[in-house]
Amino acid sequence: MIRAVLHFVSAVLMVSGVLLIVDAGLTVAWQEPISSFLAHREQQELEREIADPPRRVLERRPLPGDALGQIRIPAIDSSEFIVEGTDQDNLRKGPGHYPSTALPGDRGTVAIAGHRTTYGAPFRDLDKLDPGDRIEVDMPYRTFVYRVERTQIVDPSALWVTRRVGYDRLVLSACHPLYSAAERIIVFARLVGRRPARVGRGAQARTAGARASSSIREASRDSR
């Protein structure tokens, strides 16, 4: 009886060891599989939410956790839905927008952070981007097109990367190197164009209504 139990425990430990090795191998070669599965489910939820976003998102007043839009980086075959906020819970859903920075379409620097090895690893290949590569950020109200200017490795405390500069830009941030949080890899991109919205098409009429309401409020304030 004791021998049978020991044999069973030994078999369980062997299987567990193999699974851990497989998990480690997948993480090194691609991304962590369990958190990737969870992130995929969160991305599906963000996609559903952005198809009919709340009015506060259309009026550019999102709350943490709100689905904002979609970021597409063709050069590294990346397409991810964006969430408002950069705490751990939000970054598990996908790339997160820094609330302290501008939203796409507003003047200033738009900053978005993302994981490189866990939770879908949306920004795993940021180091492969070259100057001139296109980045598109699809918001419910408009699509914004950026071109990569440069990539830079900085200290985690380098808050200057999100500062406003003399033109509208996008900053992408992730831990560096892979499997470490010792530094940050930063991609700087410049706004080069705007196009009609691609996401949240079901809400475009509401977007127009929100803009009209905003214009009415502004006119009312100006007349006082």
Question: Burial code of 195-216, b = ≥16 C-beta within 10 A, e = fewer?
Answer: eebebbeebeebbeebeeeeee
CATH code matching the domain that covers 31-223, chosen among 2.40.340.10, 3.40.50.300, 2.40.260.10, 2.130.10.10: 2.40.260.10
Q: Answer for the pair 82, 67: CB distance below 8 angstroms, yes or no.
A: yes
pLDDT digits (tens, 9 = 90+) for 82-120: 999 999 999 999 999 999 999 999 999 999 999 999 999
pTM: 0.75
Q: Please calculate the CA angle 159-161-165 and round it to the nearest 5 degrees.
A: 120
In whole angstroms, what is the distance from residue 140 CA to residue 203 CA?
Answer: 7
Rounded CA gap, 178 and 190, in Å? 26
Cβ–Cβ under 8 Å, residues 137 and 170 = yes
Tell me what pLDDT residue 11 has. Answer: 47
Quote the crossing angle between the two packed helices 2-29 and 33-51, to the nearest 10°: 60
pLDDT in single tens digits along all 224 residues of the chain: 666 544 554 544 443 333 333 333 333 434 578 888 888 999 999 999 999 999 999 999 999 999 999 999 999 999 999 999 999 999 999 999 999 999 999 999 999 999 999 999 999 999 999 999 999 999 999 999 999 999 999 999 999 999 999 999 999 999 999 999 999 999 999 999 999 998 765 555 444 444 444 444 444 444 44
* SS3 sequence of 41-75: HHHHHHHHHHHCCCHHHHCCCCCCCCEEEEEEEHH
- The confidence score (pLDDT) of residue 36 equals 85
What is the pLDDT, as a whole number, of residue 66? 98
Domain boundaries, the chain: 31-223
Closest CA to 47 of 92, 90, 94: 94
